[in-house]
Structure 1
Amino acid sequence: MSAWSFEAYIGIPLAAVVLFLLLSDISFLQKFACKLSNLSLTVGNYGISLSLAMVSIAFTLFFSQWMTLRDLDSMKDAQLSDLTTVELQDRDRNEVSIGDGFTHSGISSFLMKAWRAERNWWISLFSLTLWLMVWRSATWVQGLLDEEQKNQQKGESGLTGDLKMKEKTEGAPVTAASQKKSASSKTTSEVDMTNMKK
């Protein structure tokens, strides 16, 4: 399996699935995605997370294709400066020499290499972008999950804790002091409304 097959058939789909799980807002799926992206790959005495390893691989492939494209561009500028792609395609498909030792099949080979390098550049850029998003999203979601777990241990649970507090206050018995407070707030708001009308 080549690096590009690995990237196209394993790296990108895996990143898309993990990113989808991280952004799903379902806690057990987010926990699974965080564990998957933080899965430790050990090489010798060194350990690295899956997401960071895939970012490194994608960056290496991206950089190598960028260098290849740069070399192909300089080669094109040097040897094919006066011929456009349309002119090259309009020529006969025979082995006709087109200046500077290039034959038509050589030009076709050059264009094929350029197309492949551009395709691989876009694949590697897409993979790099996805894995960077997975890496950062996993860190962010893990922090949110840790915070939620701390709040649950304290007896608060984020939004559901706020709703429970509201239910408790709504279900609390009505006292004379709370009635006076609500009556005074009503009269204050009525006075404000009459002042606004004037």
Structure 2
Amino acid sequence: MGAAWQWFLYTTLPLPVLLLFLLTFPGAQWVRRTVLRSTASIMSTRVSLGSSSFRLVYAFVFVVSVVFLSCTATCLRLQNEKDIADESLMSPAQRMQVLARRWRADRNWWISLFALVMWYLLARVAALCTKLHRLEEAQKAEKAK
């Protein structure tokens, strides 16, 4: 499971965090325009799987959603196991093992929720920045008349 989480962390988290930072970072007009263009090209990249084709952002959102639902199921399962098990009959080592498993599941749940929120925020902020850019261009064109 460690390699899977490593892949998840190093592929699904840095991209939206970096792009959100760049989209919201104040800068010159040409810098913002370049960042917006590169973000739009990344977000609109199409992936083909068999005969179907979909945007890369949807693939990431799907993967992150599946991981989030899996983490939710794991947390609920471990909570039910805790309710069934009698902690007074456990040795300190067994109790520590149960708590470590629950802590790891909770941590993974929060990480997957964070990744899901970051992808959603990236999609919304990119859409808002694109709309703002179009409005600024229309305003420039109107002033030039």
TM over 0.5: yes
Name the aligned partner's letter for residue 64 of structure 2. Answer: A
Query: What is the DSSP-based 3-state SS (H/G/I as helix, E as strand, rest coil) of the residue aligned with 2:13?
Result: helix
Q: Which residue of 1 aligns with 2:34?
A: 28
Structure 1 position 161 matched with structure 2 position 141:
yes
CA pair 31-159 structure 1, distance change in 2 beyond 3 A: same
Q: Normalising to structure 2: TM-score of the pair?
A: 0.81
- The residue identity in structure 2 corresponding to 1:45 is S
Q: What is the alpha-carbon distance in structure 2 between the residues aligned to residue 160 and residue 123 of structure 1?
A: 42
Partner of 1:107: 95
Q: Which has the higher contact order (CA 8 A, sep 6+)?
A: 2
User: How far off is 1:14 after superposition?
Assistant: 0.9
Pick the structure with more helix per residue. Answer: 2
Question: What secondary structure, in the 3-state scheme, does the structure 2 residue paired with 1:2 have?
Answer: helix
Matched residue, 1:72: 78
Query: Per-residue CA shift, 1:8-31, capped at 9, x if unaligned?
Result: 223111111122333347112101
> In the alignment, what sits opposite 1:138?
126
CA distance in 1, matches of 2:53, 2:132: 24
Distance 1:106 1:10 in 2: 34
Deviation of residue 79 (structure 1)? Answer: 1.5
Percentage identity across paired residues of the two chains? 26
Which secondary structure state, in structure 1, belongs to the residue aligned with residue 96 of structure 2?
helix
Residues 142 and 27 from structure 1, CA distance in 2 versus in 1: closer, same or farther, beyond 3 angstroms? same
Q: Structure 1 residue runs of 4+, over 4 Å off?
A: 142-145
Rg larger in structure: 1
Q: 1:37: how far off?
A: 1.5
8 A contact 1:18–1:37 mirrored in 2: no
Does residue 53 of the first structure (1) align with residue 59 of the second (2)? Answer: yes
Aligned equivalents of 1:66 and 1:42: distance in 2? Answer: 29
CA RMSD of aligned residues (A): 2.4
Q: 1:37 is matched with which residue: 36, 43, 47?
A: 43
Q: Unaligned 5+ residue runs, structure 2?
A: none
Query: Residues of 1 paired with 2:98 and 2:114: CA distance?
Result: 24
1:120 aligns with 2:108: yes
**Size of the alignment, in residue pairs?**
139
**Cα deviation digits, residues 114-151 of structure 1 (max 9, x gap):** 01001100100000000111223334444555x46xx9
Q: Which whole-Å CA distance do the structure 1 matches of 2:129 and 2:63 have between them?
A: 23
